[in-house]
Amino acid sequence: MEERLQKILARAGIASRRAAEQLILAGRVQVDGRTITQLGYKADPDQVSIRVDGKKISAEQKVYLLLNKPAGYVTTLSDPQGRKTVAELVRNIPARLFPVGRLDLDTEGALIMTNDGAFAHTILHPSHEIKRTYEALVNGLPSRNTLRQLSTGIELDDFVTAPAKLRLLRREAKSSLVEIIIHEGKKRQVRRMFQAVGHRVLHLRRIAYGNLRLNNLPLGHYKMLSPADREQIFS
Ligand code: URA
């Protein structure tokens, strides 16, 4: 992914962004052997060789992890309202990770975090139709017909949902646990889908992203993803 040169230098720990600008203006930075003195210059650190005073800088190593997000954390890196953020749960990792997509404040479960923008973009791109599996505890007992309606697609305020898979997992006195698999990521989609058919979501947990499952990863913990784990997302 292309980024401004001063940002790349700052990210690589060469200097603060302000000091990196001074390095660029002073003609001390080369990209693929060419001295760059414009501050607006953008490059993809994975595609080019960047040198400062002739010394090659190494691009930040890519990190991929799966976090089991607890409720009560926002999926942003900082929050103007001072709420807890998922960044706090991965603080000990020396890379600037960002969440891939979002989960509501009250939603728990599988959240991928990475510093690889291209990877995040691929996962989120609708053309890949990556499935997201949720367990939703809803009030009442959705009828077979209701589940069928949700799986065919229903009209929400601004769009019609794509086909989904639904399965009743458990029936309790006043609520039901339903597995729902969707491959879209519209805001509050699962909650809105159930709301539209008269069932409030009482608790929501994403248990898998593609075929990458949380399994027994404890709440608030993360695991690093191997290349094989990452493959699971697309399979
Ligand atoms: N659907 C929702 O309603 N909320 C989430 O956090 C994720 C999917």
pLDDT for the residue 151: 98
Residue whose Cα lies nearest atom 4 of ligand 1: it is: 188
Regions of the chain with pLDDT less than 70: none
Using the atom order of ligand 1, give the atom closest to the CA of residue 132. 8
The predicted-structure confidence for 74-109, as pLDDT tens digits, reads as follows 999 999 999 999 999 998 887 889 999 999 999 999
186 CB within 6 A, ligand 1? no
Mean of the per-residue pLDDT values for the chain? 94
CATH 3.30.70.1560 at 131-209, yes or no: yes
Which residues in the chain are classed under CATH 3.30.70.1560?
A: 131-209
Which residues in the chain are classed under CATH 3.10.290.10?
A: 3-56
Nearest Cα neighbor of 116 from 50, 44, 56 is: 44
Fold of 3-56: 3.10.290
**Are 140 and 176 contacting, i.e. CB atoms less than 8 angstroms apart?**
yes
Fold of 64-126+213-233: Alpha-Beta Plaits (3.30.70)
Verify whether residue 157 is a known catalytic residue: no
Q: How far is residue 135's CA from residue 81's CA, in Å, rounded to a whole number? A: 29
Q: pTM value?
A: 0.81
User: In DSSP terms, which residues pair with 182 in a beta bridge?
Assistant: 132
Nearest Cα neighbor of 45 from 5, 90, 79 is: 5
pLDDT for the residue 46: 82
Of 104, 106, 157, 229, the catalytic one is: 104
The predicted-structure confidence for 157-180, as pLDDT tens digits, reads as follows 889 999 999 999 999 999 999 999
191 CB within 6 A, ligand 1? yes
pLDDT for the residue 5: 94
pLDDT for the residue 197: 97
Using the atom order of ligand 1, give the atom closest to the CA of residue 192. 3
pLDDT for the residue 146: 97
pLDDT for the residue 80: 94
pLDDT for the residue 176: 98
- Phi then psi for 138, rounded to 5 degrees? -120, 155
